[in-house]
């Protein structure tokens, strides 16, 4: 599915480019790509919270057991923290992201969208990495 979307975006870009796209058209394409990166991990937000809860529940279990495994407890607390930070990172990005261009020129919008692309890619990577870490932690 991701490959089909990428091909579609490339095709649209190619069509616009062959007709001499305006900066506004290029910005529109950039905005579509940016939202696709967001949409890729947005459905994982619930999993972030459920994995965080699982980690904290295990911390409680370990703390109440006879043999306290402080290394495991610290590891699970760190994982829960990372899961929460990834969750908050998404919503922090969404709160600051401006959908409308406002009074910005097309060139200013281009710069803004490039900055937002870096931010949303970082959020995307953070979510994927911490969920992979959680999956590995709970496999054992």
Please write the tens of the pLDDT for every residue from 52-86.
999 999 999 998 887 878 899 999 999 999 999 99
The better pLDDT of the pair 7, 115 is held by 115
- Name the token pair of 41: 């991990």
Alpha helices in the chain (DSSP H): 2-18, 23-41, 45-64, 70-96, 106-139
- Name the token pair of 76: 């699970």
| Average pLDDT, integer, range 12-30 | 78
The structure's pTM equals 0.80
How far apart CA 123 and CA 83 sit, in angstroms, is: 12
From residue 95, give the alpha-carbon distance in Å to each of 42, 55, 89, 91. Answer: 14, 27, 10, 6
């Amino acid at each position: 599915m991701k490959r089909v979307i990428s091909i579609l975006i490339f095709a649209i870009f190619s069509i616009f480019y062959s007709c001499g796209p305006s900066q506004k058209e290029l910005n529109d394409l950039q905005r579509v790509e940016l939202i696709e990166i967001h949409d890729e991990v947005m459905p994982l937000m619930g999993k972030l919270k459920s994995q965080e809860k699982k980690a904290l529940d295990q911390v409680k279990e370990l703390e109440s057991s006879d043999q306290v495994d402080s290394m495991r407890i610290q590891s699970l607390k760190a994982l829960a923290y990372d899961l929460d930070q990834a969750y908050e990172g998404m919503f922090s990005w969404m709160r600051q992201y401006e959908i409308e261009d406002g009074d910005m020129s097309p060139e200013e919008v281009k710069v803004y969208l490039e900055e937002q692309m870096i931010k949303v890619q970082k959020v995307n990577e953070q979510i994927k990495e911490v969920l992979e870490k959680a999956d590995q932690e709970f496999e054992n």
